[in-house]
Amino acid sequence: MASNALAVDPRERRIAVLVDREGLGDALLKIPFLRGVRRAYPAHRIWWIATHQTAMEDDLKPWVAPLIDRVVSHAGLTSPDREIVPRLRQLPPFDLVFDTRTRFMTVLLARLFLKHRGFYACLPGYALSDRLPPGRWTRPNGVAARALTMIEAAIGHAADWKGTFEVSPAARQLAAERLPDGARHIGLAPGSREVRKNWPLDRYVALAQALAAKGHAPAFLIGPQERDWLAALRAGVPQALFPEAEPVDPAHGIGRLEFAIALGRRLTAAVANDSGIGHLMAAIGTPLVSLFGPSDAGRWAPFGERVVIVRAQDFGGDTMEAIPVDAVSSAVDRLVGNNAPLV
């Protein structure tokens, strides 16, 4: 923890949110919770305290800066055990603590040694929490829903969590140039941080061909780590669009994530693996087909109002190869059909 991280105004009313390691997808799952905390407690300063790194202080900073007053990353509140208690005692007092972590002992130490007036956790049975959410004895499976129930326990009713991600006019204009009006664009995001989570590339090609045959316009969302796939995808689906393939002029001041959000808003729907881009599409309200194999869809499914999950286990396997193209194409149809409005 940085040496100046503990400088505080003793008059502050503070809320601590304790999290573990947060990549982009993990952090996006907690955005609804963050909005809910901010709206429930507008006069408090929110401290986001991460045991390791958190996307809240880099990738998502432009959108969470108005909601989070202080980010403390690499706080070391998980290990080594002998150092956790001294680190907890260094932190200032908090009116409320929301602990999103799932290891009982680390949550117990926070409950015992972090100075607080109210404490809420999403352990099984809401163990260590001051109160249960109204009418609930067991926690939901999903990470996002679990976090929201901690707010329900604290305030006694459902949290106000909905919101959006604003982007610049320049980002909107460039997205409109690369995904022009007059087509039903279906975004296809074939990558993720882990190869085992990737649906085979030839399946994405076959899906894009099937969508094009139905009158949709496939648009591949390709990140920097996936550029080696461009030639094969272009050869397999010549009519597809690749809106992120051409570099963005730095003079526009458009960040990579901001551009992805602007593109997502122009999509009729998207298909993605269990990945950060999939979570992002769900978070901004783009109808999403989310593909799961080895990871737990019940826990890690993207959080959104129009999300269809396709699991390898429903087709007799545990790997992404078990998911057939027809099932994914049918899932897109269930979301948007062939009568979806043109962009």
Question: What is the CATH class of 14-155?
Answer: alpha beta
Count of beta carbons in the 10 Å neighbourhood of residue 9 = 8
Instruction: Check residue 208 and report its DSSP letter.
Output: H
Place of tokens 């460039």: 174
pLDDT value, residue 79:
83
pLDDT value, residue 2:
37
Domain boundaries, the chain: 14-155, 169-336
245-277 pLDDT, tens digit per residue, is 998 989 999 999 999 999 999 999 999 999 999
Place of tokens 């680390």: 106
Cα–Cα distance for residue pair 146/30, rounded to 1 Å: 10
Cα–Cα distance for residue pair 46/280, rounded to 1 Å: 23
The order of strands in the sheet holding 45-50 is: 70-72, 45-50, 14-19, 94-99, 116-121
Whole-Å CA distances, 159 to 53, 145, 228, 247 = 27, 11, 43, 40
15-38 pLDDT, tens digit per residue, is 999 999 999 999 999 999 999 999
Tell whether the model's pLDDT for residue 191 goes beyond 50: yes
Q: Are 208 and 242 in contact (CB under 8 A)?
A: no
219-238 pLDDT, tens digit per residue, is 999 988 899 999 999 999 99
| Mean of pLDDT values over 50-58 | 96
Do the domains spanning 14-155 and 169-336 agree at the CATH topology level? yes
> Which residues lie closer than 8 Å to 173 by C-beta, 6 or more apart?
none
| Neighbouring-strand partners of residue 22 | 54
3-state DSSP helix/strand/coil % of the chain, to nearest 5: 40, 15, 45
DSSP secondary structure string for all residues of 72-103: E-S---SSSHHHHHHHHHHSPPEEEEEE----
170-182 pLDDT, tens digit per residue, is 999 999 999 999 9
For the domain made up of 169-336, give the CATH fold. Rossmann fold (3.40.50)
| Mean of pLDDT values over 57-73 | 96
